Structure 1
Amino acid sequence: MVVSMTGYGRSKTENPSYTIEAEIRSVNHRFLDLHIRSTEPMMHLEEKIKKSIQKFLKRGRLDVHLNIQRRLQSAKQLNVDWTLIEDYYRFILELKKKYALADDIRLEHFLTRSEFFQFTDLREEDGEFEALLMRTVEDAAKNVLAMRKREGELLQRELLHYLSLLKKEWEELQALSPQPVERYREQLYKKINLLTNGNMDENRLLTEVALFADRIDFSEELDRLKSHFAQFEAVLAEEEPVGRKIDFLLQEMNREVNTIGSKGNDAGVSKKVVEMKSLLEKMREQAQNIE
């Protein structure tokens, strides 16, 4: 399946306590390069966020922006140890009685004792928040994937169009294959016949032509190109990410075309090689954006 690496996805979820928005922008990259920005610190959840996204997106540079709005006035919750306060209060009363102290018990006697109070970060303790966040991130990732698949369908049509043009060039190149040999044989025949005044050694002529034909023969390259065309079409139909396979096959096609260009001692062959290389370059440009 051809899936583009360019895409955008957005998701928004809310409940009585939170409103969370997630935006993900994706562009092409050789690997998965993920960057997270948030309106609130998310270090403790960053790995979970990445794993949630990786379930849907395997390659590309991903810029993730999280906008978190909390309806609570504070992101921290105060926890009071009333049991400890009561024990402390009774201790002061006993102390006053035992030593006949006249001092009053004042509020500051308690407020200055940090062990009575504990502030808890609601983000770290609130499973509801984490579940809502992960759902929002996954929905955004799904939307990115949907867009990337739509873009991938367009890329696949483009690649198949270029492949059909390549096949036409291949057919014309195959038809040109014997022409340089025939042309060389005729030219060599005329030269030798002129030099020998018609006393030509036919066997020597055939040997020279055979050697030349062997040097410029690119039938094997044409066969391999045809095989690569079939593999290319098969890869496009696979369900898994195909970007790297496509890139490899295009490199192999380009290598075969270059070899044909170096062997084909003919202007017509050279022209076809240039046209095929131009098509392959266009295909490689498209393939750079495939997951």
Structure 2
Amino acid sequence: MSATTTRLGAASRHVAPEAGRARRRRFANLAATVLCAVATAILLAALVSILVTLVSRGLGGLHLSTFTRMTSPPGSGGGLLNPIVGSIIQTVLAVLVGAPVGLLAGVFLAEFGTGSWVADVVRFVSDMLLSAPSILVGLFVYLILVGPVGHFSGFAGAMSLAILVIPIVVRTTEDMLRLVPTSMREAAAALGAPRWKVVMLICVRAARKGIATGILLAVARVSGETAPLLFTSLGNLSWSVNLNAPMSSLPVTIYQYAGSAYDDWVQLAWTAALLITAGVLIINIIARLGLGGRDST
């Protein structure tokens, strides 16, 4: 009897700590779940607040004249035609220049530069550009493209945005390519495919959704940049699609109009902000829907 009692006592003493640890784990799990839910709620509340504010203040200035009239003096019923066109031109040119450079650099880092000092230098420079203030990029482009020629230009503005596009695409491309299974590379190589075909036709194709997401992130960032354009394209109250002359843009127009003492200019600033937000959202939705139906085979 005494031996049995001893064993039962030992078992109960062993079960008690296990039960305590289980309770602590359940409490920690509950606490982490609650904290995650609170953080998500705060994030969603902030996002909804921003969107509601943009829609409520910007929707009132959304008229046909907004898209058909150019910016004009206060009280004359101007629109945003030239800033819209200027932003599209500069953003598209920036992506056309920056995305291929970033894509090729990312492919080199992930597939060809493993262990080389050149890849380490490229990765370091890319990370520095990724964290650099955009105003420094604008000042740099001003010194090399605006100062020597003596005037602002839409081309200089597009190049400053292209520099901001490159590091985002580089980092996303490298990360997405590293997620492609090694077995896919080995299978293609076993069939006799050369290295460049394995990379471009297998790896890049498998990672295309992530790469496209990186390009969209770059578009989302540069479409709202103001500081680089103040140093490069400056802005233009008149109609101009000449890349060798000052060119208007929505971010610069928002900067100029938001602090104005004129109600119609402030209204146009809110409308311009709404247009930028809606444009980025539409691009993301179209790209995701378009890419979602074409899985690699």
Q: What TM-score, normalized by structure 1, do the two folds share? A: 0.24
From the two aligned structures, give the one with the greater strand fraction. Answer: 1
Q: What TM-score, normalized by structure 2, do the two folds share? A: 0.24
